[in-house]
Amino acid sequence: MAAFWRRDQLGPAAQALATARRVVITTGFPVATEDGGLAPETDGPGAALALGKALGRLGCDVRYVSDTTSAPLLEALGARALDVLDLSVTDTELETKAKAYLSKHDPSHLVSIERPGRAKDGHYYTMKARRITESVSALDELFRIAREQGTPTIGIGDGGNEIGMGGLPIAKAVEHGERIASVIATDWVVVSGVSTWGTYGLIGALSRDAGRDLLPSAADVRARLDVVLEAGAVDGVTGRRAPMIDGLAVEETLEMLEAVRALSAP
Ligand code: CA
């Protein structure tokens, strides 16, 4: 990750969001389960809700958009204004459908947290280079179009295969990088060890600028992890239905949360 991390992104991304009026947030990444199936991972949805709540406290209207695979997690978390948008990357009407969604909701900003971005061959891949195109809605098209239209976009990721990672030197930095690297770029890209942590970094930067703590409580983070597990999420590394994020016990995420809170204190 250190090989493709880009500096000076968090501050400008937070400054852009501070003036946002209507933000669309997407998240949800299908990963391999222990028994070889696919399920949405724990990294992403809870953090997306935390960012949405922070932006809501700043007076911003927030919508969430995900697909049939991952939307149940956001629904279980109580995300209001949730759109389920199933788009196929091979649909010849893809661009038209993405434009229709954007023109209907007219977001001032888009944020992606741990959400698949297509690779150069037009398919979506897990970190282990498993092709998951049939299980992924092409929500990265919203970001491609938004960028064309001049709507600010922010991508948060940790593996190189997510929305926002386009243009970063992924190919040689990660295993299977040549195949899985996303070609979908965003105006600002937050690369972090775990996407949830990068999202806390962004909320921390918003908190610092606003002069108040907008981060979730540790109790909320734990409770939301339980909620997404109950709704069918699995850990992205082990594929287990366990209170973990990217193979790490939830305590490590809580430590990071408090470190961000300390750094962003007014
Ligand atoms: Ca991750």
SS3 40: strand
Tokens 């090989």 — which residue? 3
Q: Is the dihedral of CA 24, 221, 198, 164 positive or negative?
A: negative
Q: How far apart are CA 76 and CA 64, in angstroms?
A: 13
What is the enclosing helix (H) or strand (E) of 112? strand 109-113
**Angle, alpha carbons 40-171-1 (nearest 5°):** 60
- Quick check: 182 and 118 in contact, CB under 8 A? yes
Q: Which amino acid is at 31?
A: V
pLDDT at 5 over 90: no
Tell how far the Cα of 240 is from the centroid of ligand 1, in angstroms.
14
pLDDT at 176 over 90: yes
Tell how far the Cα of 148 is from the centroid of ligand 1, in angstroms.
27
- Model confidence band, residue 203 (pLDDT cutoffs 50, 70, 90): very high
Q: Tell me the pTM.
A: 0.97
Tell how far the Cα of 104 is from the centroid of ligand 1, in angstroms.
31
C-alpha separations of 18 from 4, 54, 59, 202, 260 in Å: 26, 10, 9, 11, 18
State residue 213's pLDDT score: 97
Residue range 186-200: mean pLDDT, rounded: 97
- Model confidence band, residue 250 (pLDDT cutoffs 50, 70, 90): very high
What is the tens place of the pLDDT at every residue in 105-163? 999 999 999 999 999 999 999 999 999 999 999 999 999 999 999 999 999 999 999 99
Tell how far the Cα of 195 is from the centroid of ligand 1, in angstroms.
5
Tell how far the Cα of 157 is from the centroid of ligand 1, in angstroms.
7
- Report how far Cα 240 is from the mean position of its chain's Cα atoms: 20
Burial class for 52, CB neighbours closer than 10 Å (0-12, 13-18, 19+): buried
* Paired sense of beta strands 153-157 and 109-113, if any: parallel
Tell how far the Cα of 131 is from the centroid of ligand 1, in angstroms.
17
What is the tens place of the pLDDT at every residue in 71-111? 999 999 999 999 999 999 999 999 999 999 999 999 999 99
Percentage of the chain with pLDDT > 90?
Answer: 95
State residue 31's pLDDT score: 96
What is the enclosing helix (H) or strand (E) of 155? strand 153-157
Residue range 176-197: mean pLDDT, rounded: 97
Tell how far the Cα of 93 is from the centroid of ligand 1, in angstroms.
30
pLDDT at 191 over 90: yes
Tell how far the Cα of 161 is from the centroid of ligand 1, in angstroms.
10
Name residue 157's beta-bridge partners: 191
Tell how far the Cα of 241 is from the centroid of ligand 1, in angstroms.
15
Residue range 176-181: mean pLDDT, rounded: 96
State residue 2's pLDDT score: 78
List of residues 6+ apart from 217 with CB closer than 8 A: none
State residue 28's pLDDT score: 98
Tokens 């295993």 — which residue? 175
Q: How far apart are CA 220 and CA 77, in angstroms?
A: 11
Helix axes 250-264, 218-230, angle to 10 degrees: 140
Tell how far the Cα of 245 is from the centroid of ligand 1, in angstroms.
7
What is the tens place of the pLDDT at every residue in 21-67? 999 999 999 999 999 999 999 999 999 999 999 999 999 999 999 99
Mean of all residue pLDDT scores within the chain: 96
pLDDT at 266 over 80: no
Tell how far the Cα of 114 is from the centroid of ligand 1, in angstroms.
6
What is the tens place of the pLDDT at every residue in 205-243? 999 999 999 999 999 999 999 999 999 999 999 999 999
* DSSP one-letter string for 245-264: ETTEEHHHHHHHHHHHHHHH
pLDDT at 252 over 90: yes
* Paired sense of beta strands 82-84 and 61-66, if any: parallel
